[in-house]
Amino acid sequence: MVLISITDIHGRQNIDRSTAQTLAAADLLVITGDITHFGGEADARPVIETIQNINANIICLPGNCDQLSVNYYLTSLGLNLHAATKLIDGLVFYGLGGSSTTPFGTPQELGDNVMREILMKFKKNPAGRFHVLVSHTPPHGTRVDQTMLGVHAGSKVVREFIEDFQPDLCLCGHIHEAIGSDRIGKTLVINPGPFPKHYARIEINPVREPPPLPGRRDDGIKQPSTLVGNNHRLKSVVFSNGIKEEITFALH
């Protein structure tokens, strides 16, 4: 499965042909907030429609710069992942929109207590083969939450949740300049940077095991390889940041 992680759109719709082709070829687009620049439903609608015209397979959540009416709009379309979970082709997505408190008084600052309350309700879906936390706010103390002044502006609550829950992947945004990846335990954390100039292409493949030796059943019919339990493996991540950088991860 190929995911495209998109964040911090802030109302921009100037998607070039190359980016549009990449989005169109993906199995799923995951938008991690700040769809608008302090706007509401009327501002979010043309952004979402522009992206849907390229690829209709979308899940998303609001960021701290989106007004509450954006939440209602996304919910009306069946796209809103905030405080919810979605199971899609064996991947389970857990969503946390808005942000922790900032110095700027933005529309959707949830604060630590509300964020913790939302995250504490998430339980791992046993039907899932790969678990993804989608959080507008990055976890604190990582390479993906560091501002240009060197301050770690991410959420300690999100970090605590990741340390305990250990999803396979965390997709975030919020800190525009902190493009890249980091790890918390087994969890790979990705901040793709502000769209449409930046995004991350993430490929996740089922893990297959070879047939038992010598590779044949008792009746002599060759056995196909099968999925290993409930596992998927993150194969690669490609960041688009002017030049494309490909990083391949081998998860254990």
Average pLDDT over residues 148-153: 95
| Residue 29: per-residue pLDDT | 98
pLDDT in tens, 44-90: 999 999 999 999 999 999 999 999 999 999 999 999 999 999 999 99
The CA radius of gyration of the chain, in Å to the nearest whole number, is 19
| Residue 190: per-residue pLDDT | 95
Q: Which residue has the tokens 């060197």?
A: 150
Q: Is the model's pLDDT at 216 over the cut of 70?
A: no
Per-residue confidence at 205, pLDDT binned at 50, 70, 90? Answer: confident
Alpha helices in the chain (DSSP H): 17-24, 41-52, 68-76, 111-120, 156-165
pLDDT in tens, 13-24: 999 999 999 999
Q: Which domains does the chain have, with CATH numbers?
A: 2-205+233-248 (3.60.21.10)
Q: pTM for this one?
A: 0.87
Per-residue confidence at 243, pLDDT binned at 50, 70, 90? Answer: very low
